[in-house]
Chains A and B, each alone.
Chain A
Amino acid sequence: MADPMRIRATVAGDSTEVKVLMSHEMETGQRKDAQGKTVPAWFIQSVTATYNGKTVMSAQWGPAVAKNPFLAFKFKGGAKGEKVQITWTDNRGDKRTDEAVIS
């Protein structure tokens, strides 16, 4: 089980800014270990953010994204006290969903 994400969401004017830190190895599949064997690719493939059951952001990622990725985005709307949900899925089928209350 992957470690939890750190999510911060704040209302700024008519939109909400969301900042997410994810804990993930993000192996490219290009690296070799000490024995010279290729380290298999292992990375987050898709990220979605939902607010009130509606998808407000979705992304497709590849192996070029850094380890322990940081994602920041804004969406229109959002209100204090409401929740934003973030879900990522990696190429092994691992999944993690976390939510944060908008402040």
Chain B
Amino acid sequence: MQAMKFRRTGRAALAACAAVTMTAALAQSSAVDEIAKYRAALQDGNPAELWEARGEDLWNAPRGPKNVSFATCDLGQGPGVVKGAYAQLPRYFADADRVMDLETRLVYCMVTQQGYGQPEAMKSPFGGPGTKSDIEALVAYVTSQSRGVKMNVPLAHPKEKEAFALGEKMFVYRGGTHDFSCATCHAEDDKRIRLQDLPNLMTVAGAQKAYTTWPAYRVSQGELRTFQWRLNDCFRQQRFPELIFTSDASIALTMYLARNANGAAFDAPAIKR
């Protein structure tokens, strides 16, 4: 009798357990749906537009000690051409004899054409409370001019191949206090941190979905965040030393992820939670 009672309670507890798991699964999927709805509702009034507008003004304004605009800056499609440029970056630039991502190229133009010193040009890659970053605004503007354009990152020049290979190596390199690599979180389907889905960046679909939706306005931070910022924040979460802005390592990792997104239509600046 005693044993039976025990068994019955046990079964009830098991049933209760199953119910909890089911509700959790339901809550999970509906929460993800709700977040998607929330994003769709916000899409209409995306404050990223404010950054795009400021970036456009910065692009066209004469700046720096030499008082020249970005009209002579070649992002790979010819001097001053912005349309579709981001969809083909990073790429090899013969004038600098280096593979460059968008931020690096902007800094290069600021230094070689506008006459800024290297430290001055690189000093505020990211905005924060009370500080605005010109680089971020420029990135918002340039990326907005590739909206709808298919990603087509070249991999022809030996230095482009070299950067891609280095980026891939970095992606799976484990280290730091947590023995983490990028792949620890981003190499399996259907993983998440809390309620945030983690894209599987080793698959084409995952890389495409992730890469084409940065930069994005982060509602929770009230800031536009660039793909560069996303990489830096992943490094922080891995307890890695932060990526050095415009470094070969930073460009290589961007190259790897951008190239993996080839074929997908670019769709940013977007809006995220």
Q: Are B53 and A4 in contact (CB under 8 A)?
A: yes
The residues of B that contact A12 with a CB separation of less than 8 Å are none
The residues of B that contact A21 with a CB separation of less than 8 Å are 45-47, 49-50
For the complex, count residues of A whose C-beta is within 8 A of B.
Answer: 15
Q: Are B50 and A3 in contact (CB under 8 A)?
A: yes
Interface string of A63-79 (1 = CB under 8 A from B): 00011101110000000
B140 CB, nearest partner CB in chain A, Å? 13
For the complex, count residues of B whose C-beta is within 8 A of A.
Answer: 14
Given contact pairs A19-B45, A70-B45, A72-B44, A6 touches B222 in the complex (Cβ within 8 A):
no
Interface of A is mostly: loop
Interface string of A50-88 (1 = CB under 8 A from B): 000000000000000011101110000000000000000
| A3, B49: Cα distance in complex, Å | 12
Say if the beta carbon of A23 comes within 8 Å of chain B: yes
The residues of A that contact B45 with a CB separation of less than 8 Å are 19, 21, 70-72
The residues of A that contact B50 with a CB separation of less than 8 Å are 3, 6, 21, 23, 68
Say if the beta carbon of B39 comes within 8 Å of chain A: no
The residues of A that contact B47 with a CB separation of less than 8 Å are 21, 23, 67-68, 70
Say if the beta carbon of B54 comes within 8 Å of chain A: yes
A92 CB, nearest partner CB in chain B, Å? 14
A98 CB, nearest partner CB in chain B, Å? 11
| A39, B129: Cα distance in complex, Å | 11
Q: Which of B45, B129, B130 has the most CB of A within 10 A?
A: B45
The residues of B that contact A23 with a CB separation of less than 8 Å are 47, 50
| A72, B44: Cα distance in complex, Å | 10
**Interface residues, chain B, CB within 8 Å of chain A?**
42, 44-47, 49-50, 53-54, 129-130, 217, 219, 222
Offer 15 A-B interface pairs, CB within 8 angstroms, sorted by A: A3-B53, A6-B53, A19-B45, A21-B45, A21-B49, A21-B50, A23-B47, A23-B50, A39-B129, A66-B222, A68-B217, A68-B222, A70-B47, A72-B44, A72-B45
**Interface residues, chain A, CB within 8 Å of chain B?**
3-4, 6, 19, 21, 23, 25, 33, 39, 66-68, 70-72
3 closest pairs, A vs B, by CB? A70-B45, A67-B222, A68-B47
